[in-house]
Amino acid sequence: SLGCAWLSLRALPGEPVRRPSTRYAVPWKLVDIMAVAGLLSGSSGLVLGGVEGVGALFRVLATVLAAVVILAVMFVRRDRMDVRFLAKVALPLAVIALALLPFAHSAIAYLVAFLLKFAYVWFTFFVLLVLAGICYRYEVPSLRVFAIARASSEAAILLGIVLRRGFQGNGYMDSEAFAVAFAVAGIALVGACVLVWASEKSVNGDWGAAGVAPETNLHVAGPRERFMARCDRVAADAGLTAREAEIMALVAQGLTRREIERELFLSENTVKTHVRHLHAKLGTSSKAEVIALVGEPGE
């Protein structure tokens, strides 16, 4: 793991420098939803009695399945990949698992525990990908954001484990009324998460994470954010597809065709086709003309 981390850090750009005149908020809505997922995950073994270690195994299986599905989607639907599908799968599965909890006996108990772990892992993937997008687009120093997100998640898991063992030790799960009450409370929590998520105009928004000036409390747009906003305007005016707009932004940053292929995991012919289409729509014929149209990232 340390070797993979070291190789990854060598390939990545450096951490954005924190601007002294800017205060960086934390995307608390995302962090709170992640904490709820962690709480449900920690309590997922509630119906399994004294079985230990099964939750960790379920977490590993759910992680492997998430990785396989994400890679498959990247290659099969690379032009239309939207990570929101992870949340759209995780939230309903959590509701189903909680609804089954009062009836969780024998095999159903294992199903409930697995579905709750599965929902947690998939939603965690979604949140981490969205946080990465926020940090990249808005030049938010990422270490603090990710540290808070993971600490909140793991603390919520610990709380769930403590509650689970307390309930099991006191025999609460022998009461059908308690099981129903726990399931209803869990479903209500998931419903609250859905409402919080829906309160955002788009999960691609900044979720309150972008920097603000301490004196005015107003958002301060960084160079990358201004660049991406220009790309969005040009793409909308020219009628570019989402993939064409993505490639246009990379072209405007000066990336070569080979670098774009590696960045987006696309074949040479696919990149050539998209570049040809975006040039036709923009009325340009070279990388220099695209840069002149959009402007450079540092402007």
Give 207's contacts (C-beta < 8 A, 6+ positions apart).
27, 29, 30, 130, 134, 200
Among all chains, which residue has been given the structure tokens 């958002």?
219
At residue 219, what are phi and psi to the nearest 5 degrees?
Answer: -65, 135
What pLDDT score does 52 carry?
A: 61
State pTM to two decimals.
Answer: 0.77
User: In whole angstroms, what is the distance from residue 197 CA to residue 91 CA?
Assistant: 11
Average pLDDT over residues 100-109: 79
185-216 per-position pLDDT tens digit: 999 999 998 888 888 766 667 777 788 888 88
Judge whether residue 153 has pLDDT over 90: yes
- CATH 1.10.10.10 maps onto the chain at 223-294
Show the tokens assigned to 246. 């993505």
Give the position of tokens 């920097």. 211
pLDDT at 15 over 80: no
Q: Where in the chain is the domain with CATH 1.20.1250?
A: 26-209
Q: Reply yes or no on domain 26-209 having CATH 1.20.1410.
A: no
- Per-residue confidence band for 172, with pLDDT thresholds at 50, 70 and 90: confident
Is 138:210 a contact under the CB 8 Å cutoff?
Answer: yes
Least Cα distance to 118 among 48, 32, 37 occurs for 37
Do 158 and 77 meet the contact criterion of CB atoms below 8 Å apart? no
Residue written as token pair 């977490």: 59
Nearest CA to 200 out of 130, 150, 149, 139 is that of 130
Q: 75: how many CB neighbours lie within 10 A of its CB?
A: 10
Percentage of the chain lying above the pLDDT 90 cut: 25
Residue (of 283, 285, 279, 261) closest to 271 by Cα position: 261
Which one is predicted more confidently, 170 or 291? Answer: 291
Strands of the chain, DSSP E: 23-24, 211-212
The residue that leads in pLDDT, 13 or 234, is: 234
Q: What is the pLDDT of residue 96?
A: 93
pLDDT of residue 231: 92
CA 209 to chain centre: 14
Say which residue, 55 or 247, is predicted with more confidence: 247
Q: Which residue has the higher pLDDT, 246 or 10?
A: 246
**Long-range CB pairs of 252-259, under 8 A, 24+ apart, other chains included:** 252/227, 252/290, 252/291, 252/293, 252/294, 252/295, 252/296, 252/297, 253/297, 254/287, 254/291
pLDDT in tens, 234-278: 999 999 998 899 999 999 998 888 888 888 878 888 899 999 999
Burial (CB < 10 A; 0-12, 13-18, 19+), residue 147, is exposed
Query: What's the start-to-end Cα distance of the chain, in Å?
Result: 38
The pLDDT of residue 141: 81
pLDDT, mean over the chain: 85
CB contact burial 80-91 (16+ within 10 A = b; e otherwise): eeebeebbebbb
Q: pLDDT tens, 109-133?
A: 888 888 888 899 989 988 888 888 8
Q: Has domain 223-294 been given CATH number 1.10.10.10?
A: yes
What is residue 19's predicted lDDT score, i.e. its pLDDT? 75
